[in-house]
Amino acid sequence: MKRMHTALALLVLAASATAQVKNPVAAALKDTLPGRQKNTVAAVEAMPADKFSYKPSADQMTFGHLVAHMIESNNSFCSAASAVPAPKVEEAKETDAKDKLVAALKASFDFCGNALAKMDDSKLGEMTEGHGQQFSRARFALILAGSWADHYAEAAMYLRLNGILPPTAKK
């Protein structure tokens, strides 16, 4: 009896693993979002408020600018990839207080979650405007995924330069 349950469980797992996903790009982004959101928000929360004006060199942006950039990127890239209008929000500024930037960052990730839930892969070939150029929604989906990784890596670097261990480096 136990073997039969084990075999049935393996059959169900195999069937679900080979099932077609209706919107594979949207599904992949939705699956990636929670981890990126958790780590990025935790990295921003880990930086002390007095270090939001920190920049590693004269040519680099401040940490606060990086966070404001993350917020704008989430709202615009998630909108462009999903064909869902970006939220009407007050523009985040690098000089905004840490609490305000963290809240806006969380809201931008929440918007991404809602937008990606409505994303339809059949629209990925549509062209749309973004950052002064025409790109396909597919390209914006790729830009979005890359920006999540880049933004966390940048935040982690700023943390390490200030003697703070990034969230993914903690046990």
- pLDDT tens for 33-85 read 999 999 999 999 999 999 999 999 999 999 999 999 999 999 999 999 999 99
In a domain, 69, yes or no: yes
Q: Is residue 4 predicted with pLDDT exceeding 50? A: no
Q: Which two tokens stand for residue 140?
A: 């914006």
In a domain, 17, yes or no: no
- Domain span including residue 54: 23-169
Q: How many domains does the chain have?
A: 1
- Give the CATH number, domain containing residue 72: 1.20.120.450
- pLDDT tens for 100-152 read 999 999 999 999 999 999 999 999 999 999 878 899 999 999 999 999 999 99
For 12, 51, 68, 105, 165, the CA distances from 65, given in Å and listed in that order, are 48, 12, 5, 12, 20
Quote the pTM value: 0.87
Q: Mean pLDDT over all residues of the chain? A: 91
Coil, helix or strand for 151?
A: helix
